[in-house]
Amino acid sequence: MRATKLKVVQGGRKRGNKLWRAAFAVGMAALALFLLWNSMGYLALWAADVTVVTKTTIASSTPVQCFVLRNEHLLRAPGNGKYIPLVNNGARVRVGQDVGRIEGQGGTILIQAPVAGLIFYELDGFEGHFPPDSLDLALVESVTKYMDLSPESKKLSQVGTGDAVGVIVGNTGFQLLTSLNVHYHGKRLKINAEDGGTYTIIPREVIQVHSKFWVLWDVTSLSEALGMKRVFSAQLVTDEQEAVLVPAKALCIKDGEQGVLVLFRGKPVFNKVTVLLNQGDQVGVNGLAHGQRVLTLPWWANFVKRWWLR
């Protein structure tokens, strides 16, 4: 029987097929990375916070202590004895009204209001020491002394002849005295007082004592609650600007210029702004219109392609 010779043929993939498949895999991986990289921008925009801005007035202010000046008319005891008020402290009285009485050994003596105004029974011993309408070194020294002492007010009960038992503040309005580091050269300003009210103050006189500018102000419609005090705290509004508030994280830089991203026809657009004021996590800027939508991108957006800054 004749033996048959078999020819062995090499199997497996050829080298060309391996290279093609490797190149295909590399290409697909590169395409996937390219798509992922470009989609990061869309993901950043999708994850961004949108703030619809509104115009507002931003005020710059400095803390100030306001010393109240007023026309004070002292009430003095006409005799010895126990003083009994007939109206409440801080009440408004009319001329000739019975406001108190002295009960002593000689009987009862009534005290009447010599002028109309607000009456105070709690006295600090400085009544009549701070005349309004004029500013001089003597007034500054008296106010400085009072501020250093910070005397407490007290109500008298047993009094002698001629003792002060009260004071009536006349209906001629109030004035304020402040000590400032800067002279605002006759500017009409505003104060935001501790009672929540806003008052317009108009400078009357200014003198410089050492490094401080002492300013005497006329004040419009000061509340009676503040008028009863010698001193109250306030914020002196030194400047007001119209601006919009945006998140501080919304600020970004393009070509060396500061701005924010706004949505315009559904697309992000770089909008240059000028920062006027920093308020912690918000900043006041101009350069934006009322109603514009500002984008605040997530933190990881800084690590992806910045193609949206156009």
The pLDDT tens digits for 263-277 are 888 778 899 999 988
Q: Which numeric CATH code is attached to 63-235? A: 2.40.50.100
Q: How far is CA 37 from CA 9, 31, 44, 253, 266, in A?
A: 47, 10, 11, 21, 21
The answer to which of 6-15, 192-201, 296-305 has the lowest mean pLDDT is 6-15
Domain map (residue ranges) of the chain: 63-235
| Long-range contacts, 141-146 (Cβ 8 Å, 24+) | 143/67, 143/177, 146/67, 146/230
pLDDT band at 4 (very low <50, low <70, confident <90, very high): low
Maximum C-alpha span of the chain: 166
The answer to which of 26-35, 53-62, 63-72, 249-258 has the lowest mean pLDDT is 26-35
The answer to which of 27-36, 74-83, 126-135, 182-191 has the lowest mean pLDDT is 27-36
Distance CA 109, CA 102 (A): 5
The pLDDT tens digits for 274-284 are 998 887 888 88
The pLDDT tens digits for 229-249 are 999 999 999 888 888 889 988
